[in-house]
Structure 1
Amino acid sequence: MHGPWCPVTEHHPDSAETSDSAGSSPSGLRTLLPDLAPLRTSADFRRMWIAGLITSFGGFLTFVAVPLQLKELTGSALAVGATGAVELVPLIVFGLYGGALADAMDRRKLILWTEAGLGVLSALLLLNSVLPHPLIWPMYVVVALVSALTGLQRPALQAIVPRVVAHEQLPAAIALNSMRWQAGAIAGPSVAGLVVAFGGLELAYLLDVLSFLASLALCLRLAPSPASHDAEKPSLAGIVEGARYAWSRKELLGTYAVDMAAMFFAYPAAIFPFLADDLHAPWALGLMYSAGAVGSLAVTLTSGWVSRIHRHGRMVVLAAAGWGAAMAVAGLLHNVWLVLLFLAVAGGCDTVSGLFRSAIWDQTIPDALRGRLAGIELLSYSVGPQLGQVRAGGMASLTNARMSVWSGGLACLASVGLLAACLPKLLSYDQRTDEHAARMRAARSADRVAEAA
């Protein structure tokens, strides 16, 4: 299952936060290994996880092929960079509408139809690539349509997980999905580069189309996931209702605000080429792009502790602060290997923050609102990095790349601290005692009793 040619999604244990019944907890290495319970107990989650693993590689093939083809056709960096501009607005608009759709219709059907549409769009790229003279303008149209379909699909993908995974297994499921994404983010670009280099753009697009067919075959076996009986038709009023609910839940509002602040101030990917030049290490550019994914994968491969943490809001704040601090240090260092190390640390912190943000969302949001809130969450993790790249590039043009990185990291630290002070409910959130989490646990228990009867 794809984003705009990237797989979905989308991100420190404290001894005082662990389970009270320590004697019953696993010990040794098992406390660090990922909890595989969702894969063992839920056939639908297993199918979705495998489908996502397959399509992550297909997505990265097209992620590499599209800018390379535009570069070959135009020779213009501006033409390549314009793909980001045509993606943003459709992702925002259709992400909000997709959230409303996910609450109003069968989520399985929404996933299937959008997945089929994304496969057709990849097929159009394949057809264009085999023309004697490939056209440029259809590529931008396809980029925009892919972004729109991604916005429609992602809320349904996120909202369906709490229906197919037991309530207490949701943190483990989030960690497994993150691990799948990070594995693709590390291996995918390397495989894509080899395919494009030795097989050409046409083979890359063809393999992406085939990955969609495999994904559809798996998703066809998912159980129906209909809307609740009292669900309303998607409307602007429904979207506003979701926004009002998010505003009323200050701990939810805090997760959105902290993530956007962290990404806006301390997301420097756009200036990595300039940072590599400043460090006299142009050879390290690819490593800079993959360092964060390496840190993220290290976290998810040792994510067994996630299910034993209860103060999720505190972890969101601490991890976001860690992201900013690591970026600040990376900007101040002169040794490229140490820079790469702290970029990896930053990626790990970002994943910790993402795991616990998702846990708060999945364990407390009512099912009838889950799609619309997923649409709002889509905005928080898509708009922040986009604007962050503008900030990083603008700051680097006024000063230099290294100052842009370390000043952004310090600004992230300050903004996260200010938000935590202004939103105390985020810091005090405890999934054992939170009223919304307790209500969701009771609802899931009632559903199981009803199904058993």
Structure 2
Amino acid sequence: MSSKLRDLLPDLSPWRSSRDFRLLWIAGAVTVFGSFLSFVALPFQLKELTGSPVAVGALGAVELAPLIVFGLYGGALADAVDRRKIILWSESALGVVALGLLLNTLLPQPMIWPLYVAGALTSALVGIQRPALDAIIPRIVPHSQLSAAAALNALRWQIGGVAGPALAGVLIAYAGLKTAYALDTLTFAGSVLLGRGLAPSPAAHDAEKPSLRGIWEGARYAWSRKELLGTYAIDLSAMLFAFPLALFPFLADQLDAEWALGLMYATLPLGAMLVSATSGWTGRIHRHGRMVALSAVCWGASMGVAGLMGNIWLVLLFLTIAGGFDMVSGIFRTTMWNQTIPDELRGRLAGIELLSYSAGPQLGQLRSGGMAAMTSVRTSVWSGGVVCVAAVGLLALALPKLMAYDARTDPHARTLRERKAGEAPAEA
């Protein structure tokens, strides 16, 4: 029984073997908690100021262009500059944006345009930071522990994703938006202080400066790897058609459950956290591509059922289930990326990955808001789930290399295993 329990619980080996992983994990846990406070507060404030689902959904459109531009640039930057410096400077700038939201909220009449500016700036800074965060992991964690590291990193995000939105709902109701933004600002300051303890992570000596040519080199490599393209395409489809977070404030109103808004935002990370907390089994899976596709189908189906439910508790249940399947997909996508992409291209490929798993949600918010305006809130939710299932099914049929991927025999994974085995172990 104890052996079976160990197989189920998360693998803590990256935490034990790498000091830098521990520091990065703790710093991220601090900042993600505050970020989720603003994640709920920003659309809620827009809804209160405008009363329009289109205005809330437009946040996705405002955030998309900076994400594309700076995500690609951030990927090239992560291959050319010390990744630790990128993480620290972008984290500091994100704290300044949170402070701007607080100052706007303290005005006698808060303005609408700063909310969109803050969304765009946050998107740009995340685009710069996330490739460096992703690309630093294979450097500080042994190759055999990358699946475990992906699950632990996801668990960190999910703890904040459950606690942050749940607390945000209470704070907004009883202490106001200003308290949520103030706490977000403080968490960024704490994260920067922790991140200063990370060891430098400089670029290779022969690394080129960030350039369009370098970005194009990364894009050509991604195009040559059809199994990687498959993970991007499936995740993009899942988020585009079945990510209706912009509608949650309106869905809560329709279900006469305004009290449950924070819980609705917490359901997806809660489901993901339950998977991460029982993720020991993931290390025994080798056909990662099949799991990515299957999980995306189940995500869309769960979201579709949630849109059909008229009872708030059933809605919360199926949103939680959807979050769990999204986490399964995320673990195996991340494992494929980290186990097969060379370090000299890791930053640029992380920038492309950022577009696949971040641009999709932005487009999904825009789609769901526009669809709700043309039909209804619940129709937008359930129909998006149905289309997601159909789209992922078609992609699975069209992507044989993704479906045939096996980590035990894939030549790219084998090459990186051999290279990593010849390097010094991660710092304890």
Q: What TM-score do the two structures reach when normalised by structure 1?
A: 0.85
Among 360, 380, 389, the residue aligned to 1:413: 389
Of 194, 197, 220 in structure 1, the residue corresponding to residue 196 of structure 2 is: 220
The answer to whether the aligner puts 1:185 opposite 2:174 as a matched pair is no
Distance 1:403 1:133 in 2: 34
CA spacing shift, 1:360–1:194, aligned 2, 3 Å: same
* Equivalent residue number for residue 65 of structure 2: 89
Higher normalized contact order (CA 8 Å, seq sep 6+, divided by chain length) = 2
Letter in 1 for 2:149: A
**Match for 2:300 among 308, 316, 324?**
324
1:230-241 matched pairs, under 5 angstroms: 230-241=206-217
- Show the counterpart of 1:41: 17
Q: Which residue of 1 aligns with 2:342?
A: 366
| Counterpart pick for 1:355 among 317, 331, 342 | 331
Farther off after superposition, 258-267 or 194-203? 194-203
Tell me which residue corresponds to 1:103.
79
Q: Any residues of structure 2 matched to 1:184-333 within 5 Å, and which?
A: 184-272=160-248, 275=251, 284-333=260-309
Aligned equivalent of 1:112, options 76, 88, 96:
88
Q: Measured at CA, do residues 329 and 132 of structure 1 come closer, stay the same or move farther in structure 2, by a change above 3 Å?
A: closer
Q: For the pair shown, which has the larger CA radius of gyration, 1 or 2?
A: 1
Partners of 1:125 and 1:285 in 2: CA distance: 21
**In the aligned structure 2, how far is the partner of 1:331 from the partner of 1:143?**
27
Residue type at the aligned position of 1:301: A
Q: Secondary structure at the match of 2:422?
A: helix
What is the one-letter code of the residue matched to 1:174?
Answer: A
Indicate whether 1:60 and 2:60 are aligned.
Answer: no
Closer, same or farther in 2 for the Cα pair 1:339/1:449, shift >3 Å? closer
Distance across 2 between alignment mates of 1:411 and 1:332: 14
Matched residues, percent identical? 65
SS in 1 for 2:166: helix
Cα offset for 1:182? 1.2
In structure 2, the CA distance between the partners of 1:450 and 1:169, relative to structure 1 (3 Å rule), is closer
Gaps of 5+ in 2: none
Paired residue type of 1:255: T
| Matched-pair contact (CA < 8 Å) for 2:131–2:348 | yes
CA distance, structure 1, for counterparts of residue 231 and residue 358 of structure 2: 14
Q: CA offsets per residue over residues 177-219 of structure 1, 9 Å max, x none?
A: 1111111111112323444555554444443332222211221
The one-letter amino acid of 1:151's match is G
The answer on whether the counterparts of 2:83 and 2:132 sit within 8 Å (CA) in structure 1 is yes
Q: CA RMSD in A?
A: 2.8
How many residues were matched structurally?
427
Partner of 1:30: 6
1:125–1:347 distance in 2 versus 1, CA, 3 Å: closer
Counterpart code for 2:185: V
- Out of 146, 150, 158, the position equivalent to 1:170 is 146
How do 1:132-151 residues align onto structure 2 when only pairs under 5 Å count?
137-151=113-127
Distance (whole Å) between structure 2 residues aligned to residue 401 and residue 109 of structure 1: 43
Cα deviation digits, residues 345-380 of structure 1 (max 9, x gap): 111111100110000001111111111111111111
1:443 aligns with 2:419: yes
Query: CA, structure 1 residues 132+225, in 2 after alignment: closer, same or farther (shift >3 Å)?
Result: same
Q: Using the TM superposition, give the Cα deviation of residue 155 of structure 1 relative to its aligned residue in structure 2, in angstroms.
A: 0.6
C-alpha deviation, 1:273, in angstroms: 5.0
Q: 1:450 & 1:265 partners in 2: Cα distance?
A: 40
Question: 1:9 maps to what in 2?
Answer: none
| More displaced 10-residue stretch of structure 1: 262-271 or 282-291 | 282-291
- The range that moved more, 177-186 or 96-105, is 177-186
Summarize the Cα distance change of 1:298–1:252 in structure 2 as closer, same or farther, 3 Å threshold.
Answer: same
Instruction: Work out the CA distance in 2 between the residues paired with 1:167 and 1:450.
Output: 10
Q: Which amino acid aligns with 1:112?
A: L
How many angstroms does 1:404 deviate by?
3.5
Segment of structure 1 superposing worse, 215-224 or 125-134: 125-134
Instruction: Give the Cα separation in 2 of the matches to 1:306 and 1:323.
Output: 18
Pairwise CA distance, 1:49: 0.5
CA distance in 2 between partners of 1:449 and 1:386 (Å): 39
Aligned to 1:425: 401
- Match of 1:45, SS state, is helix
Contact 2:241/2:385, CA 8 A, preserved across alignment:
yes
Look up the match of 1:15. Answer: none
Equivalent of 1:159, from 130, 135, 139? 135
CA 1:421 to 1:348, structure 2 compared with 1: closer, same or farther past 3 Å? same
Q: Deviations over 1:69-97 (max 9, x none)?
A: 5667x555466555443322111111110
> What runs of 5+ residues in structure 1 fail to find an aligned partner?
1-24
CA distance in 1, matches of 2:255, 2:174: 32
Q: Do 2:17 and 2:426's aligned partners in 1 also have CA atoms closer than 8 Å?
A: no
Deviation at 1:392, TM superposition (A): 3.1
> Residues 157 and 193 from structure 1, CA distance in 2 versus in 1: closer, same or farther, beyond 3 angstroms?
same
Contact in 1 for aligned 2:275/2:327 (Cα 8 Å): yes
Give distance in 2, aligned partners of 1:397 and 1:138.
24
CA contact (8 A) 2:105 2:177 kept: yes
Q: CA deviation at 1:329?
A: 3.1
